[in-house]
Amino acid sequence: MYSKLRKGICTCQEELVVEGYFYNVSNTPVSGVTGLSFDVYDVNRELVAHAEVVDEPTDEVKLADMKLNPGECKYWSFIIQSPNKGLDLTESTVEHEFKYDSFDKVKLEDGIKTYYNNKKINFSKTKPKVENGRTLVPIRAITEAMGAKVDWDGKTSTATITRDDVSIKLKIGDKEAYVNGEKVQLDVPAKIENGSTLVPLRFIGETFGAQIFWGQDAKIIIIAE
């Protein structure tokens, strides 16, 4: 289970709302949460706040009702009372501890499972694969899921992926890519396998501003925006 703290700067002395998401990258559904504890640290690893979260009788939304299946994420938030004015949380981190009852491990299909904003991405004949420690995925499936457009130049074996004001150019077999015209070095190049173009998932996702989470045991990838 991962959590991600949204970045922010405290501008008031009364309270600071800290928010983010929990990501389940295991093969175990999580349910029956009885308590959460948080430690928030600033960029210098100084403890900013500690919070204990438990269900109260008056709560409309209860921790015990939260359930996270493999590949799912949930929004969370809590309030830091009387923080230091001007507290910079731009590079802050959050650590947490869960107390919960979990179901038995579920049987997942073989191979790498990929989710985008809680929705599973289905791949047809060519599946994601790991090469040199990097995950390559079929370009059409990942770009369609993220709402991007793909143009293919057969003469130069170059794929151009665009979304909003971001343009990515990848040439098959080339470890150099271009983002809005600027050269970027890749760990692994795009390749063609079984007639499908495979591209480095983390590079594509993070270039478009997404966060990538990897669960080794369950082989689950979560792409979240």
Say which CATH number the domain at 8 has: 2.60.40
The model's confidence at residue 7, banded by pLDDT at 50, 70 and 90, is very low
Give the per-residue pLDDT at 45.
Answer: 74
Side chain identity at residue 32, one-letter code: G
For the stretch 138-156, pLDDT in tens is 999 999 999 999 999 999 9
The pair of three-digit structure tokens given for residue 124, joined into one six-digit string: 């047809």
Give the per-residue pLDDT at 4.
Answer: 47
Q: Is 206 helix (H, G, I), strand (E, B) or coil?
A: helix
Among residues 102, 135, 159, the one where a domain terminates is 102
Task: State the average pLDDT over residues 118-133.
Answer: 86
Mean pLDDT (the chain) is 78
Element containing residue 145 per DSSP (H, E): helix 139-145
> 107 in a domain, yes or no?
no
Nearest of 114, 100, 105 to residue 29 by alpha carbon: 105
Give the per-residue pLDDT at 101.
Answer: 55
Say which CATH number the domain at 128 has: 3.30.457.10
For the stretch 54-104, pLDDT in tens is 766 666 767 777 777 777 777 776 666 655 555 666 665 666 565 555 544
CA distance 131 to 126: 14
> 67 in a domain, yes or no?
yes
Range of the domain at 86: 2-102
